[in-house]
Amino acid sequence: MRAFRLLQTVLGLAPLATANIASFTPSTTHPNLTYSVTVPDTTTQHNAGPIYLQIRAPRTLQWVALGQGSRMAGANILVVYTDASGTNLTLSPRLGRGHIEPQYTDLAHATLLPSSSVTDDTIEANIQCTNCLASWAAPSDTSYAPASTAAPFIWAYHTGRALNSSSVQETLTIHSEMGSTTLDLSHAQFSAAENNSTDLNPFALTSTQPPTPQTGNDTHPQTKTRAILIVHGTLMATAFLLGFPLFALPIPLGVKYNIATRHAPLQLFTLALVITGLGTGVYLATTVSTLKHAHPVIGLILVGVLVLFQPVAGYLQHRHWKREAAKSVFGYVHRWVGRGAIILGMVNGGLGFGLAGRGMGGVGSRNVPVAAVVVYSVVAGVVFVGYVVGVVWGKTKVFGRRGQGKGEGGERGMKGEGENGHREKI
């Protein structure tokens, strides 16, 4: 192709009036949402100049965005919505600031081409950006190669009533759906013959041969995101619905259970699951989701408290028990922080389904199956009731035994525990 163009240039022939366009249709909910990118070969040759982006979306979307970058932080984001007349478009270039609403920036040189349109069912924004080969963030080393075979892009939209705003600083509601992909821009070059006139609409340059639409590799990042979402949910649900409550329950139940060799390692293992789960959660929040939601906020605080207080309080109570054979304030802290964390964790899992539902296609979609929500709720309910019943039953059992001087602890060689006829309770 290059050689062919070179030949054309050498022979002084007219440039091939066609554009190779990289486009992708990321949303299964909105199959008519299409993003396209194409780069003039002159931009590639000079590593400077304009690139062209197109956003086509159904009118049912309130705002639609395409960003350069693999995550929101630092990304060049082009947001499009209907203007005050409702018959034209507003282009709002924004700089991704991480997990919060991207902020309008006047550093972007991006313009809507006159070929952009608003019809009854579709909005089409054709955008020329003359400084999209680098991040708009003031001190930034991030640059975007014009012929990268894996140029990173993020996309997002929000469904709802038309914004009808001509303000480029309009407040945006958080995305209904968001994702990332890479595009092969080496196959999205067109011969512009130095034509950077704003009359040029490369997306309409289909006269001699049809554009070769190239589906972005969106399936791969979405599969990865989905896999990470599943890992996150599985780890956290295993920890808060099963691990923490079930590895704690033998203590109030009063069955033989060595604190130092069973309870502590099992709960530390569960805590390790939670910390791994937190890592996956932070990844999701910073790439496809948001930290501006109760679920990640509660999750971060919860895991922080668990890591900071539970092992230490448990250890101090264990030490106190060995010396005094009595319950200390650490025991109460450990018990109630633990129980509170289990309940909060169970509730937060429910909030997580809501958040995943919002960002990943909704509860009932492939990413958030109804069955998962039902199984989660049933298990959480059963374990919660089982735990409460176990605690009450354990208490009556202990009261029933008080004064009988049983030394169960020693029978199975649990040293340092049960010497006074009580089991160690933390």
Ligand X SMILES: *[C@@H]1O[C@H](CO)[C@@H](O)[C@H](O)[C@H]1NC(C)=O
What does the binding site for ligand X look like in residue numbers (CB under 6 A)? 31-32, 50, 58, 82, 86-88, 112, 114, 130, 150, 161-162, 164, 182, 184, 193-197, 199-200, 217, 220
Closest contact distance (angstroms) between CB of 5 and ligand X is: 16
Q: Which residue is nearest to ligand X (CB)?
A: 86
Closest separation in Å from C-beta 208 to ligand X: 13
d(CA 328, CA 330): 5
User: With respect to ligand X, which residue has the nearer C-beta, 162 or 298?
Assistant: 162
> Is the Cβ of residue 54 or residue 258 nearer to ligand X in the bound state?
54
> Backbone phi, then psi, for 112, in 5-degree steps?
-80, 130
Q: Which is nearer to ligand X, 86 or 369 (CB)?
A: 86
Per the DSSP assignment, residues forming a β-bridge with 179 are: 155
Q: Strand 189-190 relative to strand 34-40: parallel, antiparallel, unpaired?
A: parallel
Half-sphere CA count of 329, side-chain side, radius 13 A: 0
Instruction: Tell me, rounded to whole angstroms, the distance of Cα 356 from its chain centroid.
Output: 8
CB of 111 to ligand X, least distance (A): 8
Report which secondary-structure segment, H or E, holds 4: helix 2-10
User: Can you tell me the distance from the alpha carbon of 380 to that of 186, in angstroms, rounded to the nearest whole number?
Assistant: 51
Smallest separation, CB 70 to ligand X (Å)? 14
Residue 18 token pair = 């066609």
CB of 167 to ligand X, least distance (A): 13
Minimum distance from residue 132 beta carbon to ligand X (Å) = 12
Nearer to ligand X, 200 or 302 (CB): 200
Residue 198 C-beta: closest distance to ligand X, Å: 8
Q: Which is nearer to ligand X, 49 or 254 (CB)?
A: 49
DSSP 233-253: HHHHHIIIIIIHHHHHTHHHH
Q: Which is nearer to ligand X, 198 or 261 (CB)?
A: 198
Closer to ligand X by Cβ: residue 8 or 88: 88
Query: Which of 181, 177, 152, 218 lies closest to 62 in space, CA to CA?
Result: 177
Provide the 8-state DSSP code for 259: I
Of 19 and 346, CB closest to ligand X: 19
Long-range CB contact pairs, 134-143, < 8 A, 24+: 135/68, 135/69, 135/74, 135/75, 135/76, 136/76, 136/93, 136/95, 136/105, 136/107, 136/108, 137/74, 137/95, 138/107, 140/74, 142/69, 142/74
Q: Which residue, 190 or 247, is less far from ligand X as judged by CB?
A: 190
State in angstroms the smallest separation of the CB of 121 from ligand X.
6
Q: Please choose, from the candidates 357, 362, 359, 35, the residue with its C-alpha nearest in 3D space to the C-alpha of residue 173.
A: 359
10 Å CB burial of residue 363 (0-12, 13-18, 19+) is middle
- Minimum distance from residue 7 beta carbon to ligand X (Å): 20
What is the length of the chain? 426
Task: Give the single-character DSSP code of 16.
Answer: P
Report the residue number, 31 or 265, with the smaller CB distance to ligand X: 31
Compute the least distance from the CB of residue 189 to ligand X, in Å. 14
The helices-and-strands tally (H runs, E runs) of the chain is 10, 14
**Residues 153, 178 contacting (CB under 8 angstroms):** no
**Smallest distance, ligand X to C-beta of residue 86, A:** 2
Q: By C-beta, is 170 or 184 nearer to ligand X?
A: 184
**Would you call 162 helix, strand, or coil by DSSP?**
coil
